[in-house]
Structure 1
Amino acid sequence: MDRAELVGMLGDQTAACEPARTALLDGGGFVVWDGSVPSHELAGIYAARLRRARKRGAETLALPSAVGILARLEAAQVRIGCVFSPDRTWAFMLFLADDASAVLACTGVRQAER
């Protein structure tokens, strides 16, 4: 998958799509991993991450929306990708259709300073 393809797939699925698109257009790095995971497993994982983020006060974008979308997909297989802002202050997790033809959801999390 190339950058332009991914930019074109980031619509208004969640509020994190626009900042992820901007990060790509500004030269941020990205990866889409091979393989897929059942959406219900991802929904559980990201629901737990949402609880931890709230507990820690971590800044996120559209994490509740992404969890909801993943939960509603039921047994669908989902591919995972990630976009990084050019300054690496944000990471945007992408949840794509199994054939990587569409972005289903996107969430962002501000990265801790190192």
Structure 2
Amino acid sequence: MRRQDLISLLAGESPVNKACRKALEQGASFLIYDGATGLVPASNLAPTYRVREAHTRERGIPTLGFPAAVETLQALGEQPVRLGGVTQLNPPYYFQLFLAADVASVLACIGVDQQHQQRGV
């Protein structure tokens, strides 16, 4: 996938989409997993990300879009979701992407502040 294509898929005005789009526009690295290994049923992801959401909340780690993404994954049921990610270095932030299997749309996005790792929290 080309950078500009991914930027276009993040056209929504939610804070997480805007932040991810801006990171990509500023040169953040990204990866979209190919083939069958990059596809996971949404129902397999929802419980994992629900636990991760609780973990980040308990530790006070700033995030964007977590509750909405977990809700979306839950609602998608067995639908296959393609995984991807965007890594911004300055300031350090990671965006977990959940895309349609055909990569025609971003279904959900989670942003997680990575500065806590540098502080050793």
- 1:52-109 deviations in Å (ceiling 9; x for gaps): 1111111110101100011111110000110112425100011000111111011100
For residue 61 of structure 2, give the secondary structure of its aligned residue in structure 1.
Answer: coil
CA RMSD between the two structures: 1.4
1:113 maps to 2:118: yes
Structure 1 counterpart of 2:98, one-letter code:
F
Do 1:14 and 1:65's aligned partners in 2 also have CA atoms closer than 8 Å?
Answer: no
Which residue matches 2:9?
A: 9
Map 1:32-51 → 2, pairs under 5 A: 32-34=32-34, 35-51=38-54
Map 1:89-100 → 2, pairs under 5 A: 89-100=92-103
Query: Aligned equivalents of 2:32 and 2:46: distance in 1?
Result: 18
Identity, % of aligned positions: 39
User: What's the offset of the Cα at 1:15?
Assistant: 2.8
User: Would you tell me which structure has more helix in proportion to its own residues?
Assistant: 2
Which residue matches 2:80?
A: 77
Map 1:53-64 → 2, pairs under 5 A: 53-64=56-67
Do 1:78 and 1:96's aligned partners in 2 also have CA atoms closer than 8 Å?
Answer: yes
Q: Which structure 1 residue ranges, 4+ long, deviate > 4 Å from structure 2?
A: none
Could you tell me which runs of 5 or more consecutive residues in structure 1 were left unpaired when the two chains were aligned.
none
Do 1:13 and 1:104's aligned partners in 2 also have CA atoms closer than 8 Å?
Answer: no
Q: Work out the number of aligned pairs and report it.
A: 114
Comparing both chains, which one has the higher relative contact order based on Cα–Cα distances under 8 Å and sequence gaps of 6 or more? 1
